[in-house]
Amino acid sequence: MDKIKTILTLIAIIIGALVVLAGIGLVYSLLNYILVLAVICLAGYVAVKLFVKPEPQELKSPDPRKELKSVQRLLDQYKKDR
């Protein structure tokens, strides 16, 4: 009976080791796929940055209403001083 227990224990240890190795292989494969996908995305991003013509930047003007109020204040002050 001890021999059967020993053999079954050894088989369980071997199967456990195989399961652990399969898990490590699965994790490695997933990390490999993530790395390949990241490299492809990085290449696409760089390609877009290189080959797409940048659009001209719009002039950054302040809010027109604030600009108008500022001009009106200056005009009122000018009229007051005259």
Q: CA 67 → CA 32, 51, 59, 72, distances in Å?
A: 56, 38, 15, 9
The alpha carbon of 73 is separated from its chain's Cα centroid by a whole number of angstroms, namely 48
Q: How many domains does the chain have?
A: 1
Quickly state the pLDDT bin for 79 (edges 50, 70, 90).
confident
Global model pTM greater than 0.85:
no
Instruction: Quick: pLDDT tens for 12-21.
Output: 999 999 999 9
Quickly state the pLDDT bin for 71 (edges 50, 70, 90).
confident
Domain that holds residue 54: 2-81
- Cα–Cα distance measured from residue 19 to residue 27, given in angstroms and rounded to the nearest whole number: 12
- Cα–Cα distance measured from residue 12 to residue 1, given in angstroms and rounded to the nearest whole number: 16
Instruction: Quick: pLDDT tens for 30-41.
Output: 999 999 999 999
